[in-house]
Structure 1
Amino acid sequence: MIPFIRPRKYKDWSIKSKLLIMTGMLILCSVIVVSLLSYIQYTGDFEKRSADSVQQIMEQVSLNIDSYLDDLSRLSVAPYRNREVMAALEKNTEGSEIDTLIKTRTIESFLDEIMIIPRNDIINVFVLTDSIYASGKEQINLNTTVDYTNFDWYRSAYSTRESIFIPTHLQQIIKNPKRKVFSIVSQLRSTKDTERIIGVIKVDANYSGIESICNKVRMGEKGGLFIIDGNRNLIFSNFSEGNEQDFYSAILSHGVSNTKIKQGKESYLLNAVSIPRSNWTIVAINSVSELNKNASQTRNKAYLMALFSSLLAILVLIFFIKRFLNPLLDIVKLTKEINRGNLSITFPEHRNDEIGYLSSSFNKMILRIKDMFEQNTRLVGEVYEANFLQKEAQITALFNQIRPHFIFNTLNMISLLMQSGKQEKAVDHINKLSSLLRSMATWDTEITVGQEMNLLHAYLSIQKSRFEGRLMYSISIDESLFEYQIPSFLLQPAVENAVIHGCERKRGMTNITIRSKVEDDLLYFYIEDDGKGMDATILEKLRVKVEQLNVQDVDSRKSGTGIGLINVNKRIKMKYGVVYGLSIDSIPDRGTCVTITLPRFEATNNLSSIMES
């Protein structure tokens, strides 16, 4: 008994099998779908263009037939061009046999001249007045006893000046009619008294002229033309197939309109054009398979080419996938060994392409894993502890930048302003204080230099009002630096130091200047004050504290706002590198300058003062 083998699930397939099968199916389906859609689009457009082209041809055929019928109509006015004939028609010959004979000869001689015209389609011409006058290509026997005045066409001709078209009918006014004809009938009026009708002229014709026009149009081996009159009678057909009656019945059932019908397994396009003069409709039938014969052959060739191209692409794909994936699969095997704890394996490096780079990186990774594995336990604890302390120090430094006594003093100042009736200035200070407090939420993000300047302006504006004329400041920054991204609260700690150590400890006027300078690849920000400054000993201690990279080693209770400068210096070095940072210079009784050095990205030498107060 053959054991039952369960097929593997897709998720258990190898990457090689997935790539081969999915890519092969994608290639094959894409080519087939593109070919099929192209064929459908092409045949649809081609059928539409063919239908439009056939419609134009049919309209031309309709125009030609209408012109042909118009030529027949012109025969009905031929008597007006012959004065003798018109005189004979208007002459009353009652009681005179000689006059009657002369009248008959004059009229029938004229009709014989008309029949000499080399047109095989004109069969007979009749003039009906007080008698019947006729001429034809064949010998005819007139039925003189027939009362032609009772015919509908005769009455219609008497009621209108327009030519009357008579559809297919047996010859009339002759004995033993055998031929079917169609006729043009028109009334004859006196040239002396145009209101008097003196007779009717009737021209009989066969379909040889129409047949000649229609046979010039070929609708293919399976198509043809039908002409149907207003009574849905078949007048003419040049359909080459033997089942002409089936198509005629299908046309009657679907109606004479532009449509598509199905006969058996074949589809046919129908184009219909009407001829108003005769109330005829010309219907053209085209086989869709004949129209799309070349397109079908092209489609079959495209399918074969698509199949061949897809198979060739799949074979090439198999070769390259096997060649490219084998090294990756070997790496997968080695990775499984590493997962089992075997770190003594290596991958052979004998290639210079991406696989070679991957193998080299794989070997280096194994060596690093060995080193990292040994140090992992110790480093994890240290990293978590360092991150916690760093975050705590940053938050402490941030809140130290906006001291509580500054907030209390600002609120007291706002209260005094409101009590003294300076509500607008109080509201302005509230808004600026709100901006400062709101900016504390972005302490770990970056802001633009322009935003930082706005915060400094708000801070110094409040301090200026607080010190009531003892503090002046100016901000001069290169305009090209306004969109430059910097860490938030980068300049504020230095500005706060200038206010606290410059203005608070000095009785006279204190000026604070914030400016920038671009030099080579460096960007400098200077925060200067003309306060009391500090001596060399205090300055050195401050410099040592600022250069400490471990904020948690600094006792913020003893360091004042120095922890803010330490925080700024550390953030700069961690973000941009150790060559950048913060430096402090001071001269006793002359002031202090804090310089912040950053890398220059986009800066110009166009320095201008943007704010001054």
Structure 2
Amino acid sequence: MKRYDKKKRSLLRTYITIVAVICSILFLSFMLTYIIINKWYMKEAEQSAQARFLQAQEKTAEAEKDIINLYSTVTSSETVISYLKTSDLSERTQRLNDFSQMTGGVMKINPDVEAILLYDEAGQLIATKGTIFFPRQDSLVTNGMYGFSGTIADKETGYTYFQVEMPVYSREASGGYNQLGSVVLLFGSGGLADIVDTLSLNEEVYSAVLDSDGNVIASAGNWKEEYRDLIDGEQENSKYLVYGAKLEKSGWRIVNLIPKNSFMNYVNQIQTINLFTYFLVAAALIAICMLMYHKVVQPIRRQMEFVVGYTKDTNQRIEVAENNEFGEMAEKINEMLDGLEALNRQIVEGERKYLELEYAKKQTEMIAYKGQINPHFMYNTLECIRGMALYHEEKEIAKLTGSLSKLFRYNVKGDELVTVKEVVKNLKEYALIIDYRFMGKFKVAIGAEDTLLQVSLPKMLVQPLVENAVLHGLEPKMEKGEVSVDFAEEPEERMRITVRDDGGGMEKDVLEKLRKRMRSYDEEQAYATAKHGIGLSNVYRRICLFYGDKADFRIESEVAKGTCITMIVPKRMGD
């Protein structure tokens, strides 16, 4: 008992050590995961934010190019040039419809165009298109080609706009250019707002497009006053990621400010869940270890003590002390021991009976051997009958007796293997007997490819199937019937043997039962009790014995149409 007490204390220390190690591993795992996830996620978040900003910058630059290309289309339009060249009011009135159609098409091309204003060389407004009107700010053109305005805010709606101006020139005969006026397009900030929206994944992230004076044209996210110094680059802050870029053509800026803690909110939630999970796992481990000690170790100790003592007294049984799996296992051990004792008694009794049965079997075989009829006697007798029939000129009887004699001689011949040619010859003798027996009502047709005539196969493999087809397929019929036997080539050096009849066929349930008996061919009781398929079962058993799993045996049948049995076997027995 001292040895077991020592083991008990050792197991307890082992459990405590295991729990301590697992808890330490869980703590280190949590800390390592926290550090790695923080650094990895922050890095991935910064790369993702920078990639989004670059995409937004490219989209804004493309929007600038689209605006300038649109202006080039308007200012180079012959309709606009002709309208500016015309100083007569009545003629301008006539050309106003052309101007309206042209500018309407431009507004369809870019839905952000809210209005188009046309000014003459003196800066007087001479035509307008659109439902919103804001007067032109001071001349916007700074480089002789185009100019972008600052933010224009609608105080009533709060919506922001901006203007872009481009001068209109006409080419003189001398080759020079003369400025006729300018075109001002009023744009809504919706397109720019869509771009900055892609940068603001939540309300904490602020993104905006600013004009050259720092006024907001389009923005997304919540504005904080501290952002102004960050945007102007006057202050660095480790709490934010700040991205900014100046747009080349307009002089505007696109900015994106991201609080770093907005990245970590999701990570912190995951880490909180992880910490709580680790704590629960550690507590569960401690509880499981204590429970296992009381519920597992102690019952095992009792069973070990029983095993040690059982070798001294095989009549003893283990005490069932628990009402659980260990108690059930103790009961099963007791049942097993009882069963082993009973099995030992049965083995001794079985060996005695087996010896008695073997002795009886040998005696029965000796009696059967003594009672067998000499096959040569039967063959000679049939030949004698055939000779007498010929003597009395009974040719039909002689022919039938000759076929029966050949059939009997083939069946009792000692060779286990025969050729297809021999099988075909024997089947033709059998077909002649069937023709005489049923007075021509039933026919047996045999066909074989010439390349298969010398192929060997087990004897009595096909004839039982033909007999079965005649007995169960054709005999119940009132009308004529036929059984066809075919030997054909198959790929991979195999041969297909088909036995088909046009008899009554079988019901599906009968066919399924027959197939089931085929699958369990070693159950002899099934063969003895089957109404159909005794010959089939014997043939199937022989195929399995000679060919194993290299042969294929199929049975197909349909009521009122007949039955087809297909055997596919190797052409060489050793394959």
**TM-score grouping bracket, smaller chain normalisation:** 0.3 to 0.5
TM-score (norm 1): 0.38
Q: Which has the higher contact order (CA 8 A, sep 6+)?
A: 1
Query: Which of structures 1 and 2 has the bigger CA Rg?
Result: 1
